[in-house]
Amino acid sequence: MFGFGGRAAPARVATDCVVPVGFFDNTIIFRTLVLYTLFAFDDVLDPYRLRTSLARVVAQPGWNKLGARVRRNTSGDLDHHIFLSYSEERPAIGYDHLDLGDGNLEDHPAASHIPKPSHDSHSTVVSDPDKLVDLYSSPGIPKGLDDYIYSDRPELGLRVVSFKNKTIVVLHWIHRMLLQRPVKRMYLSSPRATCCWPGRVIQAMTASLSRDSETTIAVQQAYQFRPVLKDLNPVGRPFLSNCVSFLVSLMPAKDVTLKPLSHLASSIRHLIKEQGIREQVEAYTSLVREDPANHAPPFFGESGMQLIMFSNWSKSNLFATDLSAAAAKSRSEPLCSSYLQSVQGPCNFNDGIIVVGKDMQGNHWLSGYRAWGLWGLMEEEIARQRTQLMV
């Protein structure tokens, strides 16, 4: 006997509240990619406390959409199925615990690649996050939208990897990134980084071009436009939604490679000031609405340009996340993350920079993305700039 038909999603529960996924949450980017954010804590944490405390947050009014299940309706569009209450059978969050408590983090094949900041005063390439995949992923961790639709899996998930001396905490959920071919990813750290370093990394990303190249460089910066639309946000309760556009600065490559770094910095500041106002945000989002199927962001420039993505997470202050209350043994000091890394799947973007933020020791962390085969040029350019700064 042969079976016909596709996969079937779990049956709808009559008491669930069904809410359409918002227009700007249902883009081809946001609905395709899963984001994994890994935190490393230099102490042993109690997995039960981590799980139950996060589940309590998700169960609160206004936050319960994080525990919803994603389903397609009869029209093929996406809906949130929000529970009236959560239980062991229908949990608020996805959960996975890997207990490696017999060994230290430093002895684990993957975890041993978690870097420590350099102790000199210069930026250094310290790690390749691809080597951490066994920490943030497993057969039970979602890889794409179908893993949510065809299972009873909440939209927010927690993975805990326990070692004898340290703990890895991973949050994962459907999120966003630009769809491109696989890339080589490394990490940048500098104890004395300045605001110039994102610009220096952008310069390094043009190293494959001649220094007098006329090739158009499109610096595309992720921009949260929630503040300019604050009058539309509900008062006194959480409003969970993606609220992101991209600000674009177009320039010939020679302006990046030959002109002073201040020119690039000024261009980025100008685009924030010019394109970050409400009128420009409304114009941008109106262009997104012209693509009813994919809700894809518009691209400006030309087909042969080099696109460099830029995102600044500093205001999120993720390194200040204090999980001391979940420590297995009582402690009087805060317990903040010593390392933080975000990756996405199943696709990545080509050339981009994430300013992750400053850790509690004052180290500034950047994450750089490049296409396979071009990272060597990137490192050479960073080394060249480092030598110049030392002179």
Contact between 129 and 185 under an 8 Å Cβ cutoff? The reply is: yes
Using a cut of 0.85, tell me whether the model's pTM lies above it.
Answer: yes
Tokens 């420009």 appear where? 280
CATH number of 17-390: 3.30.559.10
Q: CB under 8 Å to 247, separation ≥6 — which residues?
A: 220, 221, 223, 271, 272, 275, 276
Q: What is the pLDDT of residues 79-135, one digit of tens each?
A: 999 999 999 999 999 999 999 999 999 999 999 999 887 666 667 777 788 899 999
Q: Which candidate, 206, 211, 165, 213, places its Cα nearest to that of 350?
A: 206
DSSP-assigned beta bridge partners for residue 158: 95, 171
> Is the model's pLDDT at 64 over the cut of 70?
yes
Encode pLDDT of 171-198 as tens digits. Answer: 999 863 333 333 333 444 444 444 456 6
Q: What is the pLDDT of residues 335-362, one digit of tens each?
A: 999 999 988 887 777 788 888 888 998 8
